[in-house]
């Protein structure tokens, strides 16, 4: 893994992901569960949990790198636009910094929806273990 | 909600949370699924997914505030120590900043395990909708 390496993965936001997240974390806030509440506030539909994206980052780091002996040190995300159940998200990530002396890597990432609108961006720093 | 308001919630890391997270996000990295792999790298046991904590933050923001018309703008977390299945985590959060002109609040938070060791800390900014 080197600075500048890029990665692309597709993450569909399925009903199974939405319902599984809701069941595990017991977040039934009406923004995520009540279409009329969400629409009354200007959203198209129930807004999906932003932290689903953090779960996709867990998968990306744990499963999609050329090495598996990794652990996350820090993670940050900015939610730019809402996303909805049924969206097919594209994660684009790039190694922005490789600190070889301490076996650490910083990835910059963005999620895009199927209209190629950037819905979130962030950084995740990992270490090799 | 005002600057200085504090919140405390207990989040048990149950097998159901671990298995549910694993099923939803399909992260089977051996650090999280293979005890011998984790122990060979100096951990007590399979390390739990750090992003379980971000799911708990989703619950905290969505369910535990005095208002429910909220949305997360940004979120960041630093993982300090590993945590394990069976741990009972205490989330302590405080409103560090209230920007009333734009209806935004910044929470500083930490998670502690049952030995009162801080395992993670971060910030989450929310807006009222």
Listed in order, strand segments (DSSP E) in B1-129 are 6-12, 70-79, 88-99, 104-112, 118-128
* pLDDT surpassing 90 at residue A58: yes
Whether B75 sits inside 8 A of A69 (CB atoms) is: no
Whether A41 sits inside 8 A of B73 (CB atoms) is: no
* pLDDT surpassing 90 at residue A62: yes
Residue B74 is nearest to which of A27, A72, A78, comparing CB atoms?
A: A78
Q: What mean pLDDT do residues A82-86 have? A: 98
- From CA A65, how far away is CA A28, in angstroms rounded? 33
Whether B31 sits inside 8 A of A57 (CB atoms) is: no
Distance from CA of A21 to the nearest CA of B (A): 7
pLDDT at A101: 85
Q: What mean pLDDT do residues B30-56 have? A: 98
Query: What kind and span of H or E run contains B38?
Result: helix B35-40
3-state secondary structure A85-112: CCCEEEEEEEEEEEEHHHCEEEEEEEEE
pTM for this prediction: 0.98
* pLDDT surpassing 90 at residue A10: yes
Q: Which residues of B touch A41 (CB under 8 A)?
A: 69, 129
Residues 6+ apart with CB under 8 A from A104: A73, A98, A125, A126, A127, A128
* pLDDT surpassing 90 at residue B80: yes
* pLDDT surpassing 90 at residue B28: yes
Q: Is 3.10.20.30 the CATH number for A6-128?
A: no
Question: Residue A100 — very low, low, confident or very high, per pLDDT cuts 50/70/90?
Answer: confident
Task: Look at the block and give the residue holding tokens 């390390």.
Answer: B47
Residues 6+ apart with CB under 8 A from B52: B13, B17, B18, B21
pLDDT at A104: 96
* pLDDT surpassing 90 at residue A128: yes
Among A28, A33, A54, pick the best mutation site for testing chain B contact (most B Cβ within 10 A): A54
* pLDDT surpassing 90 at residue B62: yes
* pLDDT surpassing 90 at residue B101: no
Q: Which of A21-30, A51-60, B80-89, B93-102 has the lowest mean pLDDT?
A: B93-102
Domain parsing of chain A, residue ranges = 6-128
Q: What mean pLDDT do residues B106-116 have? A: 98
Q: What mean pLDDT do residues A34-44 have? A: 97
Average pLDDT of every residue of chain B: 97
């Amino acid at each position: 893994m080197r600075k500048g390496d890029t990665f692309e993965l597709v993450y569909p936001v399925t009903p199974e992901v939405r319902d599984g997240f809701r069941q595990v974390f017991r977040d039934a806030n009406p923004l995520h569960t009540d279409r009329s509440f969400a629409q009354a506030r200007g959203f198209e539909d129930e807004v999906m949990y932003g932290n689903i994206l953090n779960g996709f980052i867990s998968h990306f780091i744990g499963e999609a790198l050329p090495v598996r002996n990794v652990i996350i040190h820090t993670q940050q995300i900015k939610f730019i636009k809402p996303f909805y159940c049924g969206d097919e998200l594209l994660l684009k990530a790039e190694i922005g910094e490789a600190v070889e002396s301490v076996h650490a890597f910083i990835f910059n990432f963005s999620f895009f929806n199927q209209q190629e609108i950037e819905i979130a961006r962030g950084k995740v720093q990992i270490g090799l273990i």
